[in-house]
A = this chain, B = another copy of it.
Amino acid sequence: EPAKSEDLIKWRQSAYQVLHWNMDRLKANIDSPQYNKDDGIKAANTIAAIANSGMGSLFAAGTETGKGWHPTSVKPAFFTDGKKVGEVAVAFNKEANELAKVAATGDAAAVKAQFGKVGQTCKACHDDFRRKD
């Protein structure tokens, strides 16, 4: 049987929290006196994996409104502006996969720069498609 809308919303909210965890963790690592290469790789690979997981399926018809862990914050435009959604998704995927590549080198300055690029793609999507209330 197909997953319930409530589960889809809960799962996408969970995936975003896994991103939150790993972005916070990578930021703390970058800001620490001694950058930890292995922890940076784990964080970056987890971010890239979520980016590559195919989250689009968690925004199936019927999930425009409703509650997972909490009421969904998605704006209606997400379900109607496919072109723009595709653009922000491609941008996030590209920068997240680049982050994993850069993290593998252990170059803290390069990781910091690429972390910033990923963060910009998060913000771009939030600005367009996440309600502020």
Contacts and interface: CB of A to CB of B under 8 A. Distances in A.
A58 to B, nearest CB: 7
B18 A10 contact: no
Contact of A20 (B11, B28, B50, B53): B11
A105 interface: no
Contact of A50 (B7, B18, B25, B28): B18
A22 interface: yes
Given A14-B17, A14-B18, A20-B11, A53 B58 contact: no
Interface of A: 2-3, 7, 10-11, 13-15, 17-18, 20-22, 24-25, 28, 39, 42-43, 45-46, 48-50, 52-54, 57-58, 69
